[in-house]
């Protein structure tokens, strides 16, 4: 009777020991009896079940097909799970041919250099036409818009009649608007040529508007204007 009880106890211990181990199944079909100690993004660390006091081993997740744990649960691995998430700061934009993107007069953009701000260049040209172009490195475009603005202001200031003054005023306003748009576009071209930005659509939308106005003295009247919409 004692011998039977001893055999039952031994079998029970053996069964418990057998099921207390984790099984790592590799993609090549090999099984490793182990005790899992840690699972990271890229690897699994474990001790061999036949030497739990021994060193800790590690195996890449990309080599593992499945892990069956002692409690009956299991993890199945694939290529996506074994890879770390991509770092957004290390994303490389597609290479572009810098000769495709040029300055105002067709001069090639230097593909080596810092990133430019389209809004910053546009605002700079708002206050001084041509300044945004100079900031972008577009020397020819800068002199074009700066010179055009100076000429229009000279015409306006030295006008002998109202028509010439109006012509100078409208000319200066046109140069200013074109300088703002061009500065923002050149900044975008520089960023694309240098790999900081992907190409997308750039457009200028100008739409005339007629807005009804209520005037107590003149009755119903209309206000005429223009809507500008720019996308970079």
Q: Domains (ranges, CATH) in the chain?
A: 20-76 (2.30.30.100), 95-197 (no CATH)
Neighbours of 34 (CB within 10 A): 21
**Cβ neighbours of 139 (radius 10 Å):** 15
* Parallel, antiparallel or unpaired: strands 57-60 and 64-68: unpaired
Measured in residues, the chain has a length of 232
| Structure token digits, residue 88 | 């957004």
Q: Is the pLDDT of residue 147 over 90?
A: yes
- Which pLDDT value is given to residue 83? 47
For residue 103, pLDDT over 50 is answered with yes
> Nearest Cα to 78, choosing from 92, 90, 67?
67
Task: With a cut of 60, say whether residue 220 has pLDDT above it.
Answer: no
- Cβ–Cβ < 8 Å for 132, 189: no
Q: Is the pTM of this model over 0.75?
A: no
What pLDDT was estimated at residue 149? 94
**Per-residue pLDDT at 216 exceeds 50:** no
Rounded CA-CA distance 161/86 in Å is: 66
Give 166-206 pLDDT, tens digit per residue. 999 999 999 999 999 999 989 888 888 877 765 554 545 55
Q: Which one-letter DSSP state was computed for residue 102?
A: B
Neighbour tally for 229: CB within 10 Å = 9
Q: Which of helix, strand or coil describes residue 220?
A: strand
């Amino acid at each position: 009777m004692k011998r039977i009880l001893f055999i039952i106890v031994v079998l029970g211990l053996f069964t418990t020991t057998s099921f207390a181990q984790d099984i790592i199944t590799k993609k090549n079909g090999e099984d490793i009896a182990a005790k899992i100690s840690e699972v990271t993004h890229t690897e699994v660390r474990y001790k061999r079940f036949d030497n739990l006091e021994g060193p800790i081993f590690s195996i890449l997740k990309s080599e593992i097909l499945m892990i069956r744990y002692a409690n009956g649960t299991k993890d199945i691995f694939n290529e996506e799970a074994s890879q770390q998430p991509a770092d957004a700061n290390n994303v490389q934009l597609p290479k572009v041919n810098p000769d495709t993107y040029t300055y105002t007069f067709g001069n090639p953009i230097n593909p080596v250099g810092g990133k430019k701000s389209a809004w910053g260049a546009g605002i700079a040209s708002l206050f001084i036409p041509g300044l945004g172009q100079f900031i972008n490195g577009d020397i020819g475009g800068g002199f074009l818009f700066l010179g055009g603005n100076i000429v229009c202001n000279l015409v306006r200031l030295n006008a002998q009649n109202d028509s010439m003054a109006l012509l100078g005023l409208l000319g200066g306003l046109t140069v200013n608007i074109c300088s703002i748009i061009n500065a923002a576009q050149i900044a975008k071209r520089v960023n694309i040529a240098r790999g900081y930005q992907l190409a997308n659509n750039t457009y200028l939308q100008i739409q005339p508007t007629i807005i009804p106005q209520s005037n107590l003295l003149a009755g119903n009247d209309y206000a005429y204007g223009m809507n500008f919409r720019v996308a970079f």
